Amino acid sequence: MTRMFTDASSVLAGWAHFIVFDLWTARFFVIDSAQLGIPHLAVVPCILGCMFFGPLGLLSYVTVRKVCDMLANNNRTATKTFKF
């Protein structure tokens, strides 16, 4: 790994990956979670996972998003009242 980053083109590729994938994906996490009402503290581990482990962070955010959606749907159906 250290030998790979001694070459200038490898360093450029590493930075491009960091900027394009990690930062833009983390930005998507923050914006999307704010729109859906997902607590920020639930998203922070996903952002860190994205920064350090790439696609694993994306997978963790998709999981958090699905869990929060399922919890929100359970709360909506539990409070329904019917008029006859």
Buried b (16+ CB within 10 A) or exposed e, 41-76: eebeebbebbeeeeeebbebbeebbeebeeeeeeee
pLDDT tens digits for range 4-31: 667 778 788 878 877 788 888 989 999 9
The answer to whether the beta carbons of residues 51 and 34 sit under 8 Å apart is no
Q: 74 is written with which tokens?
A: 């359970």
Q: Tell me: pLDDT of 60 over 90.
A: yes
Predicted TM-score of the model (pTM): 0.71
Q: Which of 3-12, 53-62, 69-78 is predicted most confidently?
A: 53-62
Residue 79 pLDDT > 90: no
Specify whether the CB–CB gap between 21 and 52 falls below 8 A: no
- DSSP H or E stretch at residue 43: helix 40-53
